[in-house]
Structure 1
């Protein structure tokens, strides 16, 4: 049976069980802080959707062992490597006491474990001067690899703000990884990407649009780590793939993170970890999805939440499509990265200044 189908069914059923058994664990697992600045739901919702995704991945690779032991071993090692990132995120979902710094360190550790177990280290980034230093000092290459993987894992947690947003962005990116892995004949990475797509689809059935369960920090860090590590392994194994391919592929969550740091540190002069309600997806929710704010019905709020995500899916495609088309050519990829950055900033400031084209506004 297809690894995608197995991971989908396993994730679908485990996530359904988590939702149905909510009365047993909601004291710990529910996102009860509905009044926080970054919250947009009005009722208790389980935030441990990452559990179904992890178990879906595990079951799919155990089943795959019956057909291809090498692919199964690769997937199981990748799952084992991801555990520090997932577990510390999951602990935050349960206890609400694990800070960003601790979760970043855990993701850094997960990347180091994956590098050791799967021999996945970046040896260049195709930036003049830095490549020579990475070749001369292997410790620097290890540090850059771990920093990149931890950064992408955290970036997916940052964009996880609305129903279907982070998970569908991940599916779009994973399809790009699957395509290029197929082009270069890397079956292990291709199947690992498909397994995660299946697990995310199983979760999405319950998350989008109804918001019956959230991805949570554990899920977001797991998904971000999985994408980052497959990207590192793909470029490390196949020198013909530009190191800028995965960067452009993931540029939406990466640039959202960088712009958030700039906005908070440079413009607002506050700590980059201080939460606010000024992410691009939050501005789109308030100023583009202009549904009747006087109607406080729970159902309307849920669907307004869900209507925000497709705008960001389209923005994600602005990076993914050229990345897939020009995955060999680093100069073209760099050019499209600049175009994305300019487009993002233009969109952000257009929304801030209320200069939004009328056809983009959703009213109800």
Structure 2
């Protein structure tokens, strides 16, 4: 468990250092835009929390390397593969000028690099027609893998809207990955998942509930890539693990992304990359939490921000729990994926139509 302790302490201290000297770098690193449609914080906050997480994971794996080089050679290669995704996200955090398509291409480059270094690609999706096509055309398999990994990385950036939301969802998902990796005795994957969990907890000390530091794009892309690539490696190295296990495990951020594309491109006929304030977590904030807490002063804005996240933690757990229980059985996993999609859409449209169940509210608005 020392990998958890080392990554936690390193992430905690690096994040503290970022906060302590924020007056030096805040003009570059702070999220000072408080009026955007996706902004729900009251003061300018450093958005480079991903630096502490990256360094925490890196140092924890370096320490482990001297204890068991075969295990943590794996982790260090994964860190190296993550560099394009992390660095382009960090560049966006500092400049605020990197286009979405450039960031997605960087995530695909990370996926391609990891696939090459580990010789691990998605060999199938357990969907009729796709598996034979991916086996017949390796280039198609490589393309699907890179697209899937970049999609998951972007999904974690999309749900990164409130204090503790994306990071705690990642902890829940990584716990499932670590558990199944332990079940199949894949200790490199298990240790890599634990290293990220420890680093995320170190970040969460400062991020939740007060929101003193944000993940930023660098942190969100790094976390999403880490989870996606561990999923690819787990299913490619262990055929007994269903390809639908990581899909159901990450179903909340993935479905949030797909539903957002549908909502923007089909319903509103706008560009899918155009930001709005209609994500599920934003609706919960505006139409459930906001009504429950009264005025709009700065303290209550931060309080409402943090009160929103646990709703989505529970939603994420609703897909993670059955994924862990039935990680071998793709038919059961597909059934639960369908159930989760129905539940998500029901919750979304109930809130949109102001018909959210009363039990979702913490207390009735006076």
Please report the TM-score for the alignment, with normalisation by the length of structure 1.
0.98
Structure 2 SS opposite 1:362: coil
Equivalent residues of 2:248, 2:337 under 8 A apart: yes
- Aligned counterparts of 1:312 and 1:92: Cα–Cα separation in 2: 26
TM-score of the superposed pair, with normalisation by structure 2:
0.98
In structure 1, the residue matched to 2:170 is: 170
Confirm or deny: 8 A CA contact 2:165 2:313 kept in the other structure.
yes
The answer for the alignment partner of 1:353 in structure 2 is: 353
The question of whether the paired residues in 1 share the 8 Å contact of 2:3 and 2:64 is answered with: yes
Q: In structure 1, the residue corresponding to 2:7 is in which secondary structure?
A: helix
Unpaired runs of 5+ in structure 1? none
Q: Answer whether contact 2:78 2:114 (CA < 8 A) is retained.
A: yes
Paired residues of 2:45 and 2:214 also in contact (CA < 8 A): yes
- Deviation of 1:295 after TM superposition, in Å, equals 2.6
Offset of residue 72 of structure 1: 1.8
- In the other structure, the counterpart of 1:143 is 143
Distance 2:297 2:340 in 1: 37
Residue 254 of structure 1, CA deviation: 0.2
Counterpart for residue 239 of structure 2: 239
Instruction: Give every structure 1 segment of 4 or more consecutive aligned residues whose post-TM-superposition deviation is greater than 6 Å.
Output: none
- The number of aligned residues is 364
**Structure 1 position 299 matched with structure 2 position 271:** no
| Matched residue, 1:133 | 133
Does the 8 Å contact 1:291/1:304 carry over to 2?
no
Q: How much does 1:358 deviate?
A: 1.2
Residue aligning to 1:230: 230
Residues 265-311 of structure 1: per-residue CA shift (max 9 Å, x gap): 00000000000000000000011113567633322111110000000
RMSD: 1.0
Q: CA deviation at 1:71?
A: 1.6
1:194-213 mapped onto 2 (5 Å cutoff): 194-213=194-213
Is the 8 Å Cα contact of residues 86 and 218 (structure 1) preserved in structure 2?
A: yes
Question: Structure 2: which 5+ residue stretches go unaligned?
Answer: none
**d(CA) in 2 for partners of 1:265, 1:181:** 38
Which piece of structure 1 moves more, 21-30 or 282-291?
Answer: 282-291
| Kept in 1: contact 2:293–2:300 (CA 8 A) | no
